[in-house]
């Protein structure tokens, strides 16, 4: 098999390649003067099983086009099978019509990837599980729960004092999976959205008084949901609040908002390349998902079970 990396998260791609003891395929992914994407594969890939590692994070449209053009280049170079490895799947929040005359952009992106020539998709912690059904090709959705639960065990020795908290009702299943692994109790924040990117905490479901709470979510964008939930938990008597998140989108002033918040710590995977301002000694810490993605790639290449990674 061969590994091809786009520009969205080169560090993660190199770590995955190191885990698999494989070199990254030589290729050029550049821009013309007008910012059009230009791709050249500098190795023979005829008959190869190729994995393209590319998150469609900011700038989402540029990184998505890179992925599509890499897939097209591989298809025209007669690769036997092409797997789009997308640690972070952009446009995942647009998975349904939220009103009249609105798009379902996640479905559109799924169609684009399929029509470009991908034979399989490997991603992690989709915002909505039903997005797997948007693809007409095999799609594996990895779970970050084992990685993050292991980090919680390592850094929070007295797990009996922990309370895993879902920051909204939609994330209950995700938070419950971690709570079950840690044998911890679960609480839920009843969140109400007043507009795009704006949320308010209406209620806390569960007794968090005196507990060390850990908010668990699939992504953090502007940071308002997590920081508001953390403040509400403290107001309801929680001893302290940390947060564990899979995808650190961190748009706008999110980093500054987190560092100024009541949160003790924010831990994320490196599915999205960390922004420079997130590593300035604040409250943000990263754990790598390279081994999880690398092992999933190895199992797909060897036609082994991927789901057994989470047994």
Helices within 170-259 (DSSP H only): 172-182, 224-235, 254-259
Taking CB atoms within 8 Å and a gap of at least 24, the contacts of 278-283 are 278/248, 278/250, 282/255, 282/258, 283/258, 283/259
Mark whether 19 and 65 lie in a shared domain.
Answer: yes
**264 has catalytic annotation:** no
Mark whether 129 and 199 lie in a shared domain.
Answer: no
Do the Cβ atoms of 288 and 269 come closer than 8 Å?
yes
Question: Looking at residue 194, what is its pLDDT?
Answer: 63
Active-site choice (191, 264, 283, 308) = 191
| Percent composition of the chain: helix, strand, coil (DSSP 3-state, to 5) | 35, 25, 35
Mark whether 245 and 297 lie in a shared domain.
Answer: no
Mark whether 14 and 127 lie in a shared domain.
Answer: yes
Give the mean pLDDT of 216-236: 94
Question: Looking at residue 201, what is its pLDDT?
Answer: 75
Domain count, the chain: 2
| Residues 112-166: tens digit of each pLDDT | 999 999 999 999 999 998 999 999 999 999 999 999 999 999 998 777 789 999 9
Confidence class for position 281, pLDDT limits 50, 70, 90 = low
Question: Looking at residue 170, what is its pLDDT?
Answer: 85
Confidence class for position 110, pLDDT limits 50, 70, 90 = very high
Report which of residues 156 and 53 the model is more confident about: 53
Whole-number mean pLDDT of the chain?
A: 94
Task: Tell whether the model's pLDDT for residue 198 goes beyond 70.
Answer: no
Mark whether 258 and 278 lie in a shared domain.
Answer: yes
Confidence class for position 195, pLDDT limits 50, 70, 90 = low
In the chain, pLDDT over 90 holds for what percent of residues? Answer: 87
Task: Tell whether the model's pLDDT for residue 210 goes beyond 80.
Answer: yes
Mark whether 121 and 211 lie in a shared domain.
Answer: no
Domain that holds residue 96: 2-142+291-310
Mark whether 171 and 268 lie in a shared domain.
Answer: yes
Nearest-angstrom CA–CA distance, 255 and 284: 8
User: Which parts of 125-184 are beta strand (E)?
Assistant: 139-142, 162-166
pTM: 0.94
Mark whether 215 and 157 lie in a shared domain.
Answer: yes
Question: Looking at residue 169, what is its pLDDT?
Answer: 86
Mark whether 160 and 66 lie in a shared domain.
Answer: no
Give the mean pLDDT of 4-15: 97
Structure tokens at 84: 């789009």
| Residues 57-76: tens digit of each pLDDT | 999 999 999 999 999 999 99
List the CATH number of the domain containing 280. 3.40.50.2020
Task: Tell whether the model's pLDDT for residue 103 goes beyond 80.
Answer: yes
Burial of 311 (0-12, 13-18, 19+ CB in 10 A): exposed
Report which of residues 206 and 192 the model is more confident about: 206
Could you tell me which of 242, 266, 259, 228 has the C-alpha nearest to residue 159?
242
Q: Which of 23-27, 44-48, 55-59, 157-161 has the lowest mean pLDDT?
A: 157-161
Mark whether 29 and 77 lie in a shared domain.
Answer: yes
Mark whether 185 and 202 lie in a shared domain.
Answer: yes
Mark whether 160 and 198 lie in a shared domain.
Answer: yes
């Amino acid at each position: 098999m061969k590994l091809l990396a786009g520009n969205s998260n080169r560090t993660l791609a190199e770590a995955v390649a190191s885990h698999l003891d494989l070199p990254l395929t030589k290729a050029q992914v550049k821009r013309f003067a007008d910012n059009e994407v230009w791709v050249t594969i500098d190795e023979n890939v005829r008959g190869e099983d190729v994995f393209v590692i590319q998150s469609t994070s900011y700038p989402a449209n540029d990184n998505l086009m890179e992925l599509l053009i890499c897939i097209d280049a591989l298809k025209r170079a007669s690769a036997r099978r092409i797997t789009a490895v997308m640690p972070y799947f952009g446009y995942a929040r647009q998975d349904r019509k939220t009103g009249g005359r609105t798009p379902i952009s996640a479905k559109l992106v799924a169609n684009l990837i399929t029509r470009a020539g991908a034979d399989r998709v490997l991603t992690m912690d989709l915002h909505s599980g039903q997005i797997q059904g948007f693809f007409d090709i095999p799609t594996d959705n990895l779970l970050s729960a084992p990685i993050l639960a292991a980090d919680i065990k390592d850094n929070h020795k007295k797990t009996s004092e922990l309370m895993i908290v879902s920051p909204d009702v939609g994330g209950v299943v995700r938070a419950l999976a971690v709570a079950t692994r840690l044998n911890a109790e679960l609480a839920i924040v009843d969140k109400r959205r007043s507009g795009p990117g704006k949320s308010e905490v209406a209620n806390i479901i569960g007794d968090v008084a005196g507990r060390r709470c850990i908010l668990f979510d699939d992504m953090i964008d502007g940071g308002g949901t997590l920081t508001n939930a953390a403040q509400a938990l403290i107001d309801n008597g929680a001893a302290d609040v940390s947060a564990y998140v899979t995808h650190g989108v961190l748009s706008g002033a999110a980093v500054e908002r987190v560092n100024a918040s009541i949160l003790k710590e924010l831990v994320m995977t490196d599915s999205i390349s960390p922004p420079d301002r997130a590593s300035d000694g604040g409250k943000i810490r990263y754990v790598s998902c390279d081994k999880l993605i690398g092992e999933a790639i190895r199992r797909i290449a060897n036609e082994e079970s991927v789901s057994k990674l989470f047994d």
